Chains A and B, each alone.
Chain A
Amino acid sequence: MDMDFDLLPDELELLEESYRINEEYSHFDPTTEPYPYEEEEEDEHLQQQQQQQQQSTSKAKSPFPEAQINDHKRTRPSDGPDASAEGVFRPSDEKRSRIDEDIVLDEDEGLLRYLPPEVTEPIVEEIVENVEEEKVLWRFASEIDGDFIPITAPSGGDRVYAKVTTEEMNERREKLYLKTPSAGLIGESIDVLLHKVEQEAFTKSLRASSGSQSEMVLSETPVVHEQLWVDKYAPFSFTELLSDEHTNREVLLWLKQWDSCVYGSEVRSTSTEVLSALRRHSSVGQHHKFSGSNSSRNNKGSRWNKENFKQSDDSENKNANSVAAQDLWNKKTRCTGPPEQKILLLCGPPGLGKTTLAHVAARHCGYRVVEINASDDRSSATIEAKIIDVVQTNSVTVDTRPKCLVIDEIDGALGDGKGAVEVILKMVSADKKSDGGKENVANEDNAQKTSSKKGRKSEPLSRPVICICNDLYAPALRPLRQVAKVHVFVQPTVSRVVSRLKYICNKEGMKTSSIGLTALADYTECDIRSCLNTLQFLHKKKESLNVLEVGSQVVGRKDMSKSVFDIWKEVFQKRKPKRERRSNNSSQTNFNEFDSLHSLISSRGDYDLIMDGIHENILQLHYHDPVMQKTVKCFDNLGVSDYMHQYIMRTQQMSLYAYQPAIAITIHRMVAQIQKPNIEWPKSNQRCRTMVIEKRDTLSSWFHTIPPHISRHLSPTSFVEESVSLLLHILSPSTLRPAALNSLSEKEKADLDQLVGKMVSYSLTYKNVKSNPLPSDLGNGATSDVTVLAFDPPIADFINFKGYKSGHYVLALAMKQVMVNEVEKQKILQVSTRRFASLTNGGNEGNQVLLGEETSRSQPDKAAKIFGKTSRPSNPSISTTSCNSDSSRSGTTASVNLKSAKPPKRSSTSFFDRFKRIGTGSQNSENVVPKEETAERDLRPLLFKFNEGFTNAVKRPVRIREFLL
């Protein structure tokens, strides 16, 4: 069937063009006949190899000797035709490597053909199917004997019939099934794979036929239910991905690191195989075919490697690389358990294929993808349920592959999206906690048991989670950014996109020129989705892509808001001169630049931040400015922007914001350079603001502790401006000699007292602070942990400017300690004297009344309740109650109140005498008026309570200040 042959070269062309981008093949002829087959076969071969690999690994456990199969593979080719082929085809310089690949492929083919039929028969069969399409598809059902399936082409409505060769497939399936009792390595079971292969063959042929049909049919019957091209041509396998190779590989590597955790111990056996796939993919840019087969050969034995070494110097390089990669890989796989960062965060502008990559990579590694996107309910409860569902994989359903969670558009919804982020973070942190205690369990079941036992709260993350976002710097993602492995998507090269577009166009039978496609890709900034949609739209309208009118003709530029970083970059960086060349004159360029920048900035909004960023980074640029005129202009503009911003905020005239982008553009015109600017996030302004607030708070809270007659005259600004330096000078006099208190002279003592008074009146003290080593004394790093006595409200910080040494004298440590004690003492004294003063001033009389009340209440005689001091002497039982507990309490309070400077000298000597006398007095003469007694008691500073029969028979209340004095 000729159509098939027409089609396949196209596909190849795509692939080849993409190779050509990276590697300049001067000459490459894809239309050779055998080539497509080889290509296809190689895929087939790879798959088969995978199967065999699997078989062998599974075999390794069984007693059945695996060598049988492997030996087949190893020995056969060596004496097969490839050896001779190698000898025959000696490559010319230019095409050496390519022909190498041919050789290799030939070998593969040979290998396939020469393999014993019981192993490879079905595959040969498939190949035959591919080669000889006539046997599979018929126009009429009557031509087929046996089973057949009717197939209708999706576009044309054509109907063909396919023969079904079930017997062989069944046979094979059973065989394979027997040999692979546990389909552990590949996510899909072998029969699913086979089914897919079959399906693919069918769709391919169908597509070919429909493609050729559509050319005729399309004109009269436009298709109604056409699939979107975006979906139709979505990459299905890893190699088809258009996105950046490096990113692809990293994602795959990350996913593979999960293997040990998800698939258990079989990771080692897969590693080489995956590595080969990886390497094959990684080398796509340079020697696709060659290294692909080369690395697959790696599995079989080093002998081949050596031969390849001899063959070409190129390959040596390659292999060295791959060996290094293998080392790295081994290192990585050796540490079991999930990767360090459990979350992968993919970010990039829309339409570059982030979602596709996540899906394809996950599928490639054998996961079943569970996607949560903005359309789903993303409250934290739902998310958590979903994640737990993902974690506990062994569901009863047919699809036993482990699941991989893809959270799409995680930056999208702020409120709900945050829920997702929180849940994930919680799980990650739970994981980190449990990591220490729990051994990394290789056994999956074990891990699951423990995790399920733990319950919902601290469910660790045991399946890969891929998050996808557009704006990496969305505020909701800030916490996630720290724990996740972040990959930023970069635009694929235009030529790659174009080649893919061309391929699709050719398939769809649309006539396009590569110039037009390039323009389109450029215009959409390599947004593949948008390109495809546009093309399909044009195709529907039966228009061709017009190079010059891409802007007007096509649906239009998408209104894309870029991240602030991109905007700053745009502002600071001149566009490549390439662009200027393309447009006709310079004014056109200016206009374009102006326009694009304007739309970019205005679609972003947030001018405040943009200006801050410009301000932060502008001085780091290297623009030519001998007399600083440019700088002056830039700063003038920034000032205008600030002024404008303030005005807008005050008057709420938001329409004035329209003028903000112009300022940025002016600055761009002034300072933009070609070289890439190094842009930092504008922190310093923010930092300054928060620090000022913080310091002001310290000051004002300090002022509140100062007595009002001083503090009312202080304000933060005037204090910092006029007082702080001098105050520090005053508080640390250099004349104060660090010596013990008692060794100071009278004058020094007076000075010290004054100093303490000052500190107390300003409620300052010294406090132990961890000294952060100043840049000046970095030399002695040992002191970094030493605590230092510093002023308690840290007022010394206010003169602590970076790179400035103040000439302040600092008191010696011993002196500071003395000061601390003195200040404390003074404070206590002050407080107590103040209380005392208030008591004596305000409530002396009242106290007396109270005292009298208490004593009188304690008496049994209620009727004699008389208040006041004057009545008390008439009370006969007063002397007895002095022994009573109640009255003694009141007595002590009284003693405090009436505390005089007279020390209680007498108390100790006449202690018992006194009580005896009182006691006898009270016992003997009840009706004696003890006027003198009370008077005496009031005179004395202290009263004692005698507790008979107790060890603490005598209690005497003592105040702290009595010790201090």
Chain B
Amino acid sequence: MLWVDKYRPKTLDHALVHEDVAQNLKKLVTEQDCPHLLFYGPSGSGKKTLIMALIRQMFGASAEKVKVENRTWKVDAGSRTIDLELTTLSSTNHVELNPSDAGFQDRYIVQEIIKEMAKNRPIDTKGRKGYKVLVLNEVDKLSREAQNSLRRTMEKYSAYCRLILCCNSSSKVSEAIRSRCLNVRINAPSEEQIVKVLEFIGKKEGLHIPSGFAARLAEKSNRSLRRAILSFETCRVQQYPFTSNQTIPPMDWEEYISEIASDIMKEQSPKRLYQVRLKIYELLVNCIPPEIILKRLLYELLRKLDAELKHEVCHWAAYYEHRMRLGQKAIFHIEAFVAKFMSIYKSFLIATFG
């Protein structure tokens, strides 16, 4: 098992980061009732870990026995019936699913499964009617229709089931849903917290960590705990007695983007733009989200840029990212940004050096 999975806290008490949140959640649950929850925060901050610990807190160890199901639903949507297939993880007390996998028909999934859960209500140990928990991942990718349909079902079936929503950015979740949930913000762990976690793991593994090494790992990790632990393990695998100036392996796509950035800095012409396009396609093909490409590209460009231009470039990056989210073909907008940058940079070069 990877360390990421091995040292994942199983209970709320064992949480290493976000202890305060964990304690609050624990209090919430021990009072036997729990509102709908919306967890949001960047990836690698520990949302899922907290959610799983929370569920364990609610239902005890039985929540850990999950079975993977690939289910098909027959949904009667007015004139036709739709067959939907989706994989769910379910225990006796909770169901996890990723509704955005169903694409634009996600709304049927959400409704269908909530209704089904309402039908067979579990009875808890004390003979009272309990509730089930439905964990919905990537709510920000839910379509608007699904979010709207969720709105009513959340209220209607609130006696039978609780929803735990999980997403990266709450801005893509509609106001209506946000107001029906208790919003829990899980921010990215600070570098000190990451260092703490790394040292904890090191102790458990019996490793000696030279001073400063953990800090470097934390710094390189972009404040993502998952990434920090993974790179820690990578370093361990590559070279054991650690040295404090040991190379920390970079992410390949980031390297590739920095290549693109230096391409852009070297030459500004439509021809070069075409080469850049091909490279960006390469990244997109490998499932790297366009927003992240744009963000990273901006980061790489800014590193090499004259301070004078930074502000303008940032402005345009934001402008094109906005458009990208409105539109559909990400490549158009990324390229538009690159073109804009080239134009700005070239005119700057001409102005300064003649």
Chain A residues close to B by CB (< 8 Å): 612, 615, 618-621, 623, 625-629, 631-632, 635-636, 638-639, 642-643, 645-647, 649, 684-685, 687-688, 691-692, 695-696, 699-700, 704, 708-710, 712-713, 715-718, 720-727, 729-730, 733-735, 757-758, 761-762, 797-804, 806-808
CB atoms of B227 and A704 under 8 A apart: no
CA distance A615 to B238 in the complex (A): 44
Given contacts A700-B87, A726-B249, A729-B237, 20 further A-B contacts (CB under 8 A): A615-B332, A627-B347, A632-B339, A632-B340, A636-B336, A638-B332, A642-B329, A643-B323, A646-B326, A712-B96, A713-B8, A720-B253, A721-B289, A721-B292, A722-B226, A727-B230, A729-B234, A733-B237, A734-B238, A806-B255
Residues of B within 8 A of A797 (CB): 286
Q: Judge whether B289 and A725 touch: CB under 8 Å.
A: no
| A691-B1 contact given A628-B268, A639-B323, A726-B233, CB 8 Å threshold | no
User: Which residues from chain B contact A684 at a C-beta distance below 8 Å?
Assistant: 281
Cβ A801 vs Cβ B327 within 8 A = no
Q: A interface, by DSSP: helix, strand, loop or mixed?
A: helix
**Which residue of B has the minimal Cβ distance to A804?**
B256
Note all chain A residues with C-beta closer than 8 A to B48: 712-713
Whether A726 pairs with B329 at a CB distance below 8 angstroms is: no
Q: Are A722 and B43 in contact (CB under 8 A)?
A: yes
Question: Which of B13-21, B172-180, B191-199, B270-278 contacts its partner?
Answer: B270-278
Residue A721 contacts which of B231, B253, B329 (CB distance < 8 angstroms)? B253
Say yes or no: B237 contacts A735, CB within 8 Å: yes
Instruction: For B31, list chain A residues within 8 Å (CB).
Output: none
Nearest A residue to B2 via CB reads: A758
- Given A713-B5, A721-B289, check contact A639 B332 (CB 8 Å): yes
Partner of B328 from A623, A642, A734 at Cβ < 8 Å: A642
- Complex Cα–Cα for A917 and B342 (A): 95
- For A615, A635, A699, A715, the residue with the greatest tally of chain B CB atoms inside 10 Å of its CB is A635
Enumerate the 3 nearest inter-chain pairs by beta-carbon distance, A residue then B residue, closest first.
A635-B336, A799-B252, A642-B327
- Residues on A with C-beta less than 8 A from B252 are 724-725, 799, 801, 804, 806, 808
Asked, given contacts A695-B286, A723-B226, A725-B250, whether A635 binds B339 with beta carbons under 8 Å apart, the answer is yes
Measured CB to CB, the closest approach of chain A to B11, in angstroms, equals 14
Cα A808 to Cα B231 in complex, Å, equals: 14
Shortest beta-carbon distance from B352 to chain A in Å:
13
| Interface membership of B288, Cβ < 8 A | yes
B interface residues, tally (CB under 8 Å): 78
- Contact, CB under 8 Å: B328 / A645: yes
Q: List 22 A-B contacts (CB under 8 A).
A: A618-B270, A621-B270, A627-B343, A627-B347, A632-B343, A635-B339, A636-B336, A642-B333, A687-B285, A688-B284, A688-B331, A692-B284, A695-B286, A699-B287, A721-B251, A726-B227, A726-B231, A761-B5, A800-B286, A801-B256, A801-B286, A807-B249
Which residues of chain B come closer than 8 Å to A804, judged between CB atoms? 252, 255-256, 259, 282
What is the CA–CA distance of A455 and B96 in the complex, to the nearest angstrom?
59
B300 within 8 A of A: no
State which of B43, B251, B273 has its C-beta within 8 Å of the C-beta of A631. B273
User: Total contacts A to B, CB within 8 angstroms?
Assistant: 207
Asked if B224 lies at the interface with its beta carbon under 8 angstroms from chain A, I say yes
Q: Per-residue 0/1 for B317-341: is the Cβ within 8 Å of any A Cβ (1 yes, 0 no)?
A: 0001001001111011101100110
Q: Which of B271, B278, B289 contacts A717 (CB 8 A)?
A: B289
Answer whether residue B123 sits at the interface, using C-beta atoms and an 8 A cutoff.
no
Most buried by A among B2, B44, B329: B329
Interface hits, B9-62 → A, CB 8 Å = 43-44, 48-49, 52
Q: Are A619 and B273 in contact (CB under 8 A)?
A: yes
Indicate the member of A628, A639, A643 with the most B CB atoms within 10 Å. Answer: A628
Residues of A within 8 A of B2 (CB): 727, 730, 758, 761-762
Bound CA–CA A720/B251 (angstroms):
10
**CB-CB < 8 A to A642: which residues of B?**
323, 327-329, 332-333
**Cβ-defined contact, B285 with A688, below 8 A:** yes
Q: Which residues of A contact B52 (CB under 8 A)?
A: 712
Taking the complex as formed, is B283 at the interface, i.e. its CB lies under 8 A from any CB of chain A? yes
Chain B residues contacting A715 (CB-CB under 8 Å) are 43, 98, 137-138
Q: A619 to B234, Cβ gap below 8 A? A: no
B219 lies within 8 A of chain A by Cβ:
no
Contact assessment for A729 and B238 in the assembled complex, using a CB-CB cutoff below 8 Å: yes
Instruction: Tell me if A643 and B255 are in contact (CB < 8 A).
Output: no
- In the complex, how many angstroms separate the beta carbon of A620 from the nearest chain B beta carbon? 7
Chain B: minimal CB distance from A812 (Å) = 16
In the assembled complex, the Cα of A14 lies from the Cα of B226 at a distance in Å of 83
Q: Which residue of A lies closest to B349 (CB)?
A: A627
How far is the CB of B94 from the nearest CB of chain A, in Å?
11
Whether A639 lies near B333 (C-beta < 8 A) is yes
User: With A721-B289, A802-B282 as given contacts, are A628 and B323 in contact (CB-CB < 8 Å)?
Assistant: no
Contact B327 A639 (CB under 8 A): yes
- Closest chain-B Cβ to A614's Cβ sits at a distance in Å of 10
Q: Is the CB of B274 within 8 A of A620?
A: yes
Docked complex Cα distance between A930 and B196 (Å): 65
Assuming the A-B contacts A619-B270, A688-B284, A726-B249, are A704 and B87 also in contact, with contact meaning beta carbons closer than 8 angstroms in the complex? Answer: yes
Residues of B within 8 A of A612 (CB): 329
Closest to B232 in A: A726
Give chain B nearest CB distance to A184 CB in angstroms. 60
Partner of B343, one of A628, A709, A757: A628
B288 / chain A contacts, CB cutoff of 8 Å: 717, 720-721
In the assembled complex, the Cα of A729 lies from the Cα of B256 at a distance in Å of 17
- Give the chain A neighbours of B284 by CB distance below 8 A: 688, 692
Q: Does B82 contact A (CB under 8 A)?
A: no
B281 contacts across to A, CB distance below 8 A: 684, 688
| B89 x A722 contact (CB < 8 A) | no
Determine how close the nearest CB of chain B comes to the CB of A638; give it in whole angstroms. 5
> Inside 8 A of A627's CB, which chain B residues have their CB?
343, 346-347, 350
The reply to whether B237 and A730 contact each other, CB–CB distance below 8 Å, is: yes
Segment at the interface with A among B63-71, B106-114, B157-165, B305-313: B63-71
Residues of A near B101 (CB, < 8 A) are 700
Q: Are B66 and A638 in contact (CB under 8 A)?
A: no
Among A618, A730, A762, A808, chain B packs the most CB atoms within 10 A around the CB of A730
Q: Which of B1, B250, B269, B283 contacts A628 (CB 8 A)?
A: B269
Q: Which residues on the B side are within 8 Å of A722 (C-beta)?
A: 43-44, 224, 226-227, 230, 251
Contact (Cβ within 8 A) B233 A730? yes
- Contact of A704 with B230 in the complex, beta carbons under 8 Å: no
Q: Is the CB of A708 within 8 A of B66?
A: yes
Closest to B144 in A: A650
CB-CB nearest in chain A for B91: A708
Assuming the contacts A619-B273, A627-B347, asked whether A761 and B1 have C-beta atoms less than 8 A apart, the reply is yes
Per the bound structure, the CA–CA distance linking A629 and B346 in Å amounts to: 10
Is B216 close to A, CB under 8 A? no
Q: Which residues of A contact B277 (CB under 8 A)?
A: 619
CA distance A399 to B326 in the complex (A): 67
Chain A contacts for B5, CB-based, 8 A: 709-710, 713, 761
Say whether B279 faces chain A, with CB atoms less than 8 Å apart.
yes
A438 CB to nearest B CB, Å: 46
Chain B residue contacts of A636, Cβ below 8 A:
336
On chain B, the residues within 8 Å of A729 by CB distance are: 234, 237-238, 249
Closest to B288 in A: A720
CB-based contact A635/B44 at 8 Å: no
Q: Which chain B residue shows the least CB distance to A690?
A: B285
A722 to B343, CA, bound (A): 32
Residues of A within 8 A of B327 (CB): 639, 642-643, 645-646
A730 touches B234 (CB 8 A): yes
How close is B135's CB to chain A, nearest CB, in angstroms? 9
Residues of B within 8 A of A688 (CB): 281, 284-285, 331
A798 and B287 contact, Cβ closer than 8 Å, known pairs A615-B332, A722-B43: yes
- State which residues 81-135 of B face A: CB under 8 Å: 87, 89, 96, 98, 101
Q: How far is the CB of B239 from chain A (nearest CB, A)?
A: 8
**Alpha-carbon gap, A628 to B264, bound state (A):** 13
